[in-house]
Amino acid sequence: MMMSVCVAMSAVPSAQAQVAAPQPERMRALVHLVRQDCGSCHGLTLQGGLGPALTAAALRDKPREGLIATIVGGRPGTPMPPFRGIVSEDEAVWVVDRLIEGFPADGGPAAIAPPPLQPRMQ
């Protein structure tokens, strides 16, 4: 009995809520997407435009879940479109975490050098 409990517990990942970070190539594509497509409304420096600023300072106190849901589902009744199908939920988590810490520079769609990204810390 004890054994099976131990086995069952060890099968559960210790950080279940954690999502896998995208592959490096996909990270680069996401950074480019945010800088270009999101930037068309949120400003090329993400300081705000038609949409509000997406800088670390602007997002720091906002609930992460709401920001993630906004990216995936959009904000009905506002110009914020849903990115479901373009950006997965896990990728939206990754994007929000990067926005909160200060979004990385766009390496371009076909950059050869790896992007200057930190591995996920939490």
Nearer to ligand HEC, 81 or 114 (CB): 81
Going through the chain in order, the beta strands assigned E by DSSP cover: none
Helices 89-101 and 24-33: angle between axes, nearest 10 degrees: 70
Give me the residues that bind ligand HEC (CB under 6 A), please.
33-34, 37-38, 40-42, 50-52, 54, 62, 67, 70-71, 75, 78-81, 83, 87, 95
Nearer to ligand HEC, 18 or 78 (CB): 78
Nearer to ligand HEC, 15 or 41 (CB): 41
* Distance of closest approach, residue 111 Cβ to ligand HEC, in angstroms: 19
How many other β-carbons are positioned within 10 Å of the β-carbon of residue 115? Answer: 17
Distance CA 57, CA 53 (A): 9
* Distance of closest approach, residue 120 Cβ to ligand HEC, in angstroms: 18
**Who contacts 26 (Cβ-Cβ below 8 Å, separation ≥6)?**
91
* Distance of closest approach, residue 39 Cβ to ligand HEC, in angstroms: 8
